[in-house]
Structure 1
Amino acid sequence: MNPSLKILIVDDNRDFSATIADVVRSQGWTPEVCNSPEQALSFLSRNSAEVALMLLDIEFGSESSMTGIDVLGRSIREFPAIPVIMISGKGTIEMAVQATKLGAINFIDKSTLSNDRLVNVLSSSMDRLRSAASEEDRRRIMEAQGIVGKSRAMMEVADLILLYGRTDLNVLVLGETGTGKKLVAQALHAVSRRSKHPFVTVDIPNIPRDLFQSELFGHKRGSFSGAMENKVGLFQKAHKGSLFMDEIGDMPLELQANLLLPMEQEGVRRLGSVEVEPVDIRFISATDRDLIAAMAEGTFRDQLYHRLRECEIFIPPLRERLDDVPVTVDFYVAKHNRETGDSKTVSPAAIDYLCQYHWPGNVRELR
């Protein structure tokens, strides 16, 4: 599980909650504690996209009018993507059956709970979450976006697209040139709640430095020489949608700070204006550069890196998944035949030859 996704612990026993949070944290996961049903539902209403799993007590004190079963029912209706594990100090078979019927994926009796058992339950639940995508889900999203592959590595990429797609967390897509980073970005947008809103691409290397702020944030007429009319920036165009910043590693250091304020304030100010325009954007970035090394060299800002990399997807080079070569060839030959009316085929001997090549240009070169 990406550490930016949280395990929500809902229990009115503060000592127990703190202990569970320590165990969660020790495994590299991020805990979030709520001590009442009302607090939990309020948190979910604002932050459901950040929650990967919920641990929910069944019984609460007299200060709350709700039970864990009430919260479970609300969660299943309003936040169906979040799996729920029920916990109780007074567990019965009837409670477990009721919770399971309502949609809980597991039931834990506090009296039998040890740290090791908790870790095992959470790990198996997270594994189930990672593998929840069916073959049909994977095939559908990959085919729709032109992402080709049947290797284990590409199935993991598809799983991450489906997992992160349901969140609003910013995603950094890594991979060599030609591996299909933009296709992955488009797939993330397509499976997200923002899919009916714009997907806007910022081609970082091709924006002149002196026009960077104007292109991204827009400008008012007369704000500089040549500004003959008002201009809407790419940030405003991406409102309620996704902004894809391609080749983010190529952004000059002196321009990187310009991104931080809009990301933190969720608003932009056009050149020549004092008004801040609110924008609601999910950021997806891609690079073939080593940003860790760039930060160490002082050419990429740490703060920007951590803002952009709330989740990460790495696309392996084609040479490391040569079993994807035949299906990729079939995909592009079929595409060519549909577009041209040809009926071309590739011989088995040619496929074998292609599978022995190093593919420095990856899928783009094969295409």
Structure 2
Amino acid sequence: MGDITKAYDLIIIGGGPAGLTSAIYGGRSKLKTLVINKGTVGGMVNTTREIVNYPGYRNISGEDLMKDFKKHAEDFGVEFLRDEVVKTDLSREDKRIVTKKGKEFSAKAVIIACGSEPRLLNIPGEKRLQGSGVAYCATCDAEFFEGEDVVVVGSGDQAIEEGMYITKFARKVTVIVLHDEGILDCNKVSAERAFQNDKMEFIWNSTVEEVLGADNVEGVKIKNLKTGSSEELACQGVFFFVGMVPATHFLKDSGIVMDQRGYIPVNELLETNLEGVYAVGDNRVKYLRQVVSAAGDGATAAVAAERYIEEMNAFQANVLASEKPVLLAFFNVLDQGSLEFCTLLEEVNQELSECYRIVKVDLTTKKNLAQKYGIQQVPSVLVLDKGRHVKRLNCGTTKDSLKTQLV
């Protein structure tokens, strides 16, 4: 990697609801925060015409909600960069990020909020005719099919709701459904509305096996899953809504652990397997993928990152920069024995003319250092010299024995 363009406390990769919430919390904590987003800030939520279940907003478009999120972050001094992250080095203490435009940044903590992207069926004609009749976003492209016949592939919430939106423009919308007649994967309200829509038709027990057309979509080849027979259906547009996949391909060689689908497993603090790196929103392993759950992820990760950075800054100032050897003393404020041992440690250090600097770490509030050094019980004391681990003290001894260990 080359020269650093700029250093930050916190860099957030992705500007959807999870990333923007992280940015709000990061900015409010006075962290120097940068959001890198390769597209329009807001991500896939921008294509949602109507959100009715986000607390405090009875009815708002996804685009308008994301504008509010971004403005909130900007009010706290968060910086935004429209670029794409193509390379990372996240295993080091000062994490490095390189963008497609050749800029390189460093950060003390990184939050991965790159979200997900439409799943491709990878059938013949799909990729070739993208932008020429093949589409994945009704809000973006429906108006281009005014008065034409359109096919929708899928039967989940997105497929049916987007399909109904397309009927505002298209002459007819034919939905290709894998299931038996009357069975859709969407919610019941949307299903009822779709069945009552005169411009929507359904082909059951079927899938699309090819998109037809030379320069533009002219039709699709549909296969009946029960009979095995195929037929062609003329149309001018095909919208695919067959699920999403995590947009984590740029992390392939980063050292971040991912499952076989590309989702990132995390713990309750949204921590990945790499220290100081967090994953939030649709790119992580989780049960519910909605704006409200993404926002919750962003808040949790940003608070965890802020505390991690605070601990690392304190470690740098109090341990690595110390002229004296350091006694890193781990205690629990709720454990009287560990508190008494810390008092004893201070007495011994005074008798030794304070030749050590004592740095106390409360495990109830600062867990990152404990994890770093494998501390599982209190009291525990490490002797460090410029951050180098010299030895661990036996804390179950007398005052004289403790003094002997430190001489």
TM-score relative to the length of structure 2: 0.24
The structure carrying a bigger helix percent of its residues is: 1
The structure carrying a bigger strand percent of its residues is: 2
Larger Rg belongs to: 2
TM-score relative to the length of structure 1: 0.27
